[in-house]
Structure 1
Amino acid sequence: MTMGAGHLIAVVGSSPGVGKSTLCRAVARRAAESGATVDHFEEADILSRPSFRPVAEEFAGGSGSVRPGTLVESTRDYVAKARAEGVDVLVTDALLPFIPSLVAWGHDETTIAAVLADLAQAVRPTHVTVVYLRDDPHTALRRAVEREGPDWLDWYVGKLGAAPGTRSVKDLPSAVEHLCREEELTVRLLAGTHWRVLRVDVGGRDAEQTERHVREILPDL
């Protein structure tokens, strides 16, 4: 694997259960095995990474949301520090570009597009590749329930239903409808960036097959 310094690979998904975290681990491992210096930013790390302390503090402050500017500045700090420390490859799980969170917090498409433009400026000159995993939401949510247990779906529906931008979610059908709309928005917004965007349809692929497919369409992996 040969990569120039400052490559951020952001793995995001159309739904829980599409295999983001599994693919992130595989990509980070493969990059490290090739000799690259790798930082693997796991999904839960946003609560503990120093650069994202302002994000964690705002979220815990009572509003249950974070100002877009805080997301942008924390991302800028994270990428700049990694670059200064000589990290070659950043692999992030459900981080950049924050679209599901921004939707849940009630921001409209125009605002989210502006946030993406600010993020693009914040991470320069780091090269960004977004790997967008997607699957039928019914299938993906069923996979998430099998992984997390039967109570998980109630938690997930409740979390969405409590947020200002996703209050329409009351049950599984409305969650699926929301995820379909969010996918359309995500694809449209990512198309407006200068980032390399790889849309990967998971379908019947298992984790190993998905990783192999990503390597095929992203040769520098």
Structure 2
Amino acid sequence: MTVLITVWGASPGVGKSTLCDGLSRWLTDAGLRVDHFREEEILTRPQFAAVAEEFKATGRVRRQTLIAATAQFVDAIMTSGDDVVIADALMPFVPTLLAMRHGEEAIDAFMIALTEVLARVRPVMVFLDGNAERALARAARREGEHWLDWYVGKLAGYEVSPPVADVASAVKYLLRERAVTLGAVRRKDWGLVVIERADELPPDEVLQVAQRGLTPWLGDARGRIDV
């Protein structure tokens, strides 16, 4: 069964993309067939075309659109024969649903449907935990001086709860996003690897922790990889 590794984190800047790159190299070097789904590819992958079009047209995405796109994505995985798919900030879509102002009851119902659609793969989430304020500052250094204002403005525009007006309130919102995301995954039959203090660890150490946590979920591939 193909393993779907979906990587999320407590905040932008916590190291999701760096970890995805490292996992992709590690598993490819082990001889596995790996599909690395980068964060920006939700706008370009054909299976998610309806998601991109709906968001562009309305600024929102319906839950049924996400479910239908995920079903097409799983179909593509089955056709490809890949051993592992590494998805950077894709599923379980909880931040998207919160931005669309869905409550936790609606998110739990969505997670039931999503988990059913993913029954043909083995989903496991790697969650990079850490200090959201420190991670935001790191993202701002990487992206440029105007990025943080843009990010705060984006959250404010979605009218998320709790409301966001500045960096401090963005951090409070990200704490809620973290709690809802982890809670939604823990209530379903997904694998979960939480890396504590990921923002304080060097990237190679984060990768090593992720490797150890993921190895039990890699099934028949375990004999081909070294940790």
TM-score, normalised by the number of residues in structure 2: 0.91
Q: Find the counterpart in structure 1 of residue 168 from structure 2.
A: 173
Residue 135 in structure 1 maps to residue 130 in structure 2: yes
Q: Which runs of 5+ in 2 are unaligned?
A: 219-224
1:92 deviation in Å?
A: 0.1
Kindly indicate whether residue 2 of structure 2 is the aligned counterpart of residue 39 of structure 1.
Answer: no
1:109 correspondence with 2:88: no
* Uncovered stretches (5+) of structure 1, i.e. residues with no partner: none
C-alpha deviations, 1:140-172, integer Å up to 9, x for none? 111111111111100000000001335710101
1:107 to partner: Cα distance: 0.3
Q: Which residue of 2 aligns with 1:215?
A: 211
- Determine the C-alpha separation between the residues in 2 that align with 1:204 and 1:158: 27
Deviation at 1:90, TM superposition (A): 0.5
Question: Which residue identity lines up with residue 17 of structure 2 in the other structure?
Answer: S
CA RMSD of aligned residues (A): 1.3
Mapped partners of 1:103, 1:123: distance in 2 = 21
CA distance in 1, matches of 2:2, 2:199: 31
**Structure (1 or 2) with the greater helix fraction:** 2
Matched residue, 2:222: none
Count of residues paired in the alignment: 216
1:188-199 alignment to 2 at 5 Å? 188-199=183-194
Query: How far is 1:203 from its partner?
Result: 4.3
What displacement does 1:52 show?
0.2
- Are 2:62 and 1:53 aligned? no
Give the alignment of 1:137-152 within 5 angstroms: 137-152=132-147
Partner of 2:153: 158
Determine if contact 1:80/1:123 at 8 Å carries over to the other structure: no
Query: Match of 1:205?
Result: 201
Q: Which amino acid aligns with 1:132?
A: F
Q: CA deviation at 1:216?
A: 2.1
Query: 1:18: how far off?
Result: 0.6
Shift of 1:180: 1.0
Query: Greater CA deviation, 93-102 or 162-171?
Result: 162-171
| One-letter amino acid matched to 2:153 | G
Letter in 1 for 2:150: W
Q: Which contiguous aligned blocks of 4+ residues in structure 1 show a shift greater than 3 angstroms? A: none
Q: Kindly, what percent of the aligned residue pairs are identical? A: 38
